[in-house]
Amino acid sequence: MSGAVDRVQAPFGTREVVVSGTEDAGPYRVFSCLDAAGPEPTSGQFYMLASSERWGGGSEERPYLPRAISVLAAGDRQLSFVLEVVGPGTERLAELEEGDALRLLGPLGNGFTAPPPGVRAILCGGGIGVAPLALLQQELVAQGYEVTALLGFRDREHAAGAEFLEAAQVATDDGSVGHAGLVTELLLAELDRDASAVIYSCGPPQMLEAVRAISVDRGVPAQLALEAPMACGYGACYGCVVKCADGSLRRSCVDGPVVEAGELAADWLAVAS
């Protein structure tokens, strides 16, 4: 969360793009668009998305703010996103079909930083938190890093999210696929095997807190991609503040969403917005 972070900057204002493809992946919805005017994002960055049609307005539609969604894949001006429908915004975005128009602002926030040369990366994700880790795995493998991917899901259906990464070890809450238990148990086993690593994590807040505590306890650096609720995405509303170890409150949309585990206050989750 340090101030001077190299990042890909978003062009000013929102732009309209066209959905170029959609696909179901188990319970998740994937969609792509051609973003000819935008710079290529890095893993961990996100976009504020809203459909151009039927996004609030009118007497029967709830007025929406755009929703923060991590970039899943990027290249050749194509962006892909993956959604888990949890409310009206993700429901509307999941209805988009090829040819539909989408309003987009981004890429926003900072991204992940690669490990020191030769140091292994351990990716530890949960649920829809697989999205930024999928792009991170591609980037790190292309740079020659050893990458270990550990992913946790609630059940077999949601474990379909493991397909966004290569060769992931899976844990499920109900034991229907892979390790029966928490993905952080896989993380502890990996650190017991070889603790010379950098951990990268994204997922539910409770999982991120468990990873933060492991990172501090074991002295292994970790970069956490926070998914604090966001209203604007560019620093104006202070709706996304998190508490840091030095007592400051920082906006996770511009000072994050990727933060060093050691920079978060021990009670960050209790006071998260």
Ligand X SMILES: Cc1cc2nc3c(=O)[nH]c(=O)nc-3n(C[C@H](O)[C@H](O)[C@H](O)COP(=O)(O)OP(=O)(O)OC[C@H]3O[C@@H](n4cnc5c(N)ncnc54)[C@H](O)[C@@H]3O)c2cc1C
Please choose, from the candidates 115, 186, 118, 177, the residue with its C-alpha nearest in 3D space to the C-alpha of residue 149.
Answer: 186
Residue 236's binding partner out of ligand X, ligand FES, none, with CB under 5 to 8 Å set by partner kind: ligand FES
- Taking a C-beta distance cutoff of 8 angstroms, is the pair 183, 163 a contact? no
Q: Which of residues 230-269 bind ligand FES (CB under 6 A)?
A: 230-233, 235-240, 251, 253
Q: 69 is in the binding site of which of ligand X, ligand FES, none (Cβ under 5 to 8 A by kind)?
A: ligand X
131 binds, among ligand FES, ligand X, none (CB under 5 to 8 A by kind): ligand X
DSSP letter for each residue of 136-188: HHHHHHHTT--EEEEEEESSTTGGGGGGGSSS-EEEETTSSSSEES-HHHHHH
SS3 223: strand
CB of 189 to ligand X, least distance (A): 27
Q: Does 65 bind ligand FES (CB under 6 A)?
A: no
CB of 29 within 8 A of CB of 94? Answer: yes
The bridge status of strand 73-75 relative to strand 15-25 is: unpaired
Gap between the Cα atoms of 220 and 259, Å rounded: 14
| 231: partner contacted, choices ligand FES, ligand X, none (Cβ within 5-8 A by kind) | ligand FES
Residue 107: cis peptide before it, omega within 30 degrees of 0: yes
Residue numbers at the binding site for ligand X (CB under 6 A): 46, 67-70, 81-84, 86-91, 128, 131, 227-230, 257
Closest CA to 151 of 142, 160, 143: 160
Alpha-carbon span 157 to 27, nearest angstrom: 7
Instruction: Tell me how far, at minimum, the Cβ of 229 lies from ligand FES, in Å.
Output: 8
Mask 188-227, x = binds ligand FES (CB under 6 A)? Answer: ----------------------------------------
For residue 252, the minimal CB distance to ligand FES (Å) is 6
Q: Which residue is nearest to ligand X (CB)?
A: 87
Q: Which residue, 199 or 230, is less far from ligand FES as judged by CB?
A: 230
Binding positions for ligand FES, rule: CB under 6 A: 230-233, 235-240, 251, 253
